[in-house]
Amino acid sequence: MTLLKVRGFDVHKGYLDPARQAALIGSLRPVLKAAPLFSPKVPGGGRMSVRMTSAGRFGWYSDASGYRYAQQHPSGLDWPAVPEAVLEVWRDLTRLERQPDCCLLNYYGEGARMGLHQDRDEADFSYPVVSISLGDDGLFRIGNRARGGKTESVWLNSGDVVVMGGEARLAYHGLDRIRFKSSRLLPKGGRINLTLRVVT
């Protein structure tokens, strides 16, 4: 494992070995069965290219009225529990007693991307956001605390974990593209990104 520091982001390259990556994928199957992926609407009226779901007390949600956390999946059912294998990553890298309230799962298929944004729907920004990459390579772009200015990019590979805390907590960031089918972890290709957040 190698630790890269990019604009305050701690990028733990190769944090999860192939066996742990496969175990994590296995732990996510019950989550996806209980809370299937959906394509959220955005306030402008379109839909995101990324499909998503969540686990934990809250799930991240978006529709025509805005971005927010919700206590139930669009089906009306409560979100499933965060798998223990995912919580182990949080505990190891943050050393916090506080557990995350939400594990947001984003699935990037061919051509999917995520524009530059801030994670600021949470009540307390002193807690970090932990981001786990599984599957295809993704080009992660890091900006500033305000829109505009120079950005820096780094390729995230399957098994990499990013910790966004401190000054980096409110930095703009996004995923410009994936190298579709660059990994064999997901049989049909694509990238799964798990982000662990303290919400309340």
Q: Which structure tokens are listed for 49?
A: 């290219």
Confidence of residue 62 (pLDDT cuts 50, 70, 90): confident
Q: Order of strands, edge to edge, in the sheet holding 152-156?
A: 114-117, 173-178, 138-142, 152-156
Percent of the chain whose predicted confidence (pLDDT) is above 70: 100
**Helical (H) or strand (E) element with 178:** strand 173-178
- pLDDT given at position 63: 84
Contact 53, 32 (CB under 8 A): yes
Kindly tell me if the per-residue pLDDT of 1 is higher than 90.
Answer: no
Predicted structure pTM score: 0.96
CATH of 2-189+191-197, one of 2.60.120.590, 1.20.120.1760, 3.90.400.10, 1.10.3720.10: 2.60.120.590
Q: Which structure tokens are listed for 196?
A: 């662990």
Mean pLDDT of 43-64: 91
Residue 109, classed as helix, strand or coil, is coil
pLDDT one-digit tens code per residue, 7-24: 999 999 999 999 999 999
Q: Scan for tokens 């996806």, then name that residue.
A: 32
**Helical (H) or strand (E) element with 5:** strand 2-6
pLDDT one-digit tens code per residue, 106-119: 999 999 999 999 99
Contact 141, 153 (CB under 8 A): yes
pLDDT one-digit tens code per residue, 84-109: 999 999 999 999 999 999 999 999 99
Kindly tell me if the per-residue pLDDT of 44 is higher than 90.
Answer: no
- pLDDT given at position 66: 84
- For 45: left if phi > 0, alpha if psi spans -120 to 50, otherwise beta; the answer is left
